[in-house]
Structure 1
């Protein structure tokens, strides 16, 4: 695990964007699972502004680690946010964008998306392997859309599952733990003071840390990076 701590959210996004450019530069093809949230939004802005001409977008295939079960026109859609902040500003082939159909019935959609991953990605012991999975972490320690109250979904046999938000009841399609931990690289983007307590518990492996899905992220490759601002890392010794 590599901890990368920067001054603020903006610097986290700038440093992550440089890391991303470095990861993709020598690849013939690159498959990445995106995250939603406020920090990825800034990352997408920086990639669009500073890297639009520096990265060969035609070799990058985009997927989502999780998606809310809403239409692609809905403001809650991770896909819509990515279109607005990245895809509309770069030259990426439409066939390289593999969105979750949030408007569809969640269970068949989770199966369809799992099948898509099997077809498009190389597999390691039958599990689709991303080149990079980008993750966020909620104040409750959830990651992708695996929440503490449904932590058993982490170990699900399927590559994708239907998860339920604990408060709103909203359905979401999410990749599972085995897909995350099979990725060549996994990167957390975690910012803000509200995350500090869970960051301390998970990284310090304090009592009860295994109840948080984010604590179960442990890629077989060993390539796990936490990009954090000072606020999120403020309780680390």
Structure 2
């Protein structure tokens, strides 16, 4: 794990975007760049930054957009990660629907997890006999979850499915999430940890220093081939 400290949230997200551009430049221009997005408040800030400052600095035509996870709601619902990305990124940049592969949160969760798993399996190149993303943007919750893998469903860290159904331990909301083996399939993980409310979980992450399944974020970060944390928090 590499940690990059910045003086502000925007600077941290700029640093992360520079890393994404670096990863893109290391890949061939002749093939699509498969990027998995996350949602949440930090994602909203990131998307706003991209459309304001990186409209002409990123080759958006190369990117195929997928999701790390999605809440089981309609795409018009305020909780929808797709809605957030569409309003703050895809719409303003004019990204065509043909390069956006959303998780259908309004469908039956188990069936949709299977459908999206099959889609990913068919469209992404393989590495270690598993689908391989070119980059994954991951968030970390104040409770230590990442993707939609919570301590209460840590078995998803090792699940054989590509995507599976999880449940938020407090609200009971169902979600569809990418599972550990594909997240950890030699893909660069770009992890923004932004805002004072994330201080305790960042400190806990830095103190962990090892993979622990009851702390999903630490399990992912310390098992990853390359994980880059970008933060505006001074430790």
Same topology, TM > 0.5: yes
Q: Does 1:2 align with 2:2?
A: yes
> Aligned partners of 2:219, 2:81: CA distance in 1, in Å?
23
Q: Paired residue for 2:232?
A: 229
Q: Does 1:11 align with 2:15?
A: no
Q: Paired residue for 2:41?
A: 38
Contact 1:121 1:129 in 2 (8 A): yes
> Aligned partners of 1:99, 1:219: CA distance in 2, in Å?
28
Contact 1:52 1:89 in 2 (8 A): no
> Aligned partners of 1:219, 1:96: CA distance in 2, in Å?
31
> Structure 1 runs of 4+ off > 6 angstroms?
none
SS at match of 1:53: coil
Q: Paired residue for 1:179?
A: 182
Q: Which runs of 5+ in 1 are unaligned?
A: none
Root-mean-square deviation over aligned CA pairs: 1.9
* CA-CA distance at 1:93 after TM superposition: 2.6
* CA-CA distance at 1:126 after TM superposition: 2.2
Indicate the larger mover: 219-228 or 154-163.
Answer: 219-228
SS at match of 1:153: helix
* CA-CA distance at 1:152 after TM superposition: 1.0
| Equivalent pairs, count | 232
> Aligned partners of 1:30, 1:190: CA distance in 2, in Å?
24
Contact 1:31 1:63 in 2 (8 A): yes
Q: Does 1:53 align with 2:76?
A: no
Q: Paired residue for 1:204?
A: 207
**TM-score (normalised: structure 2):** 0.92
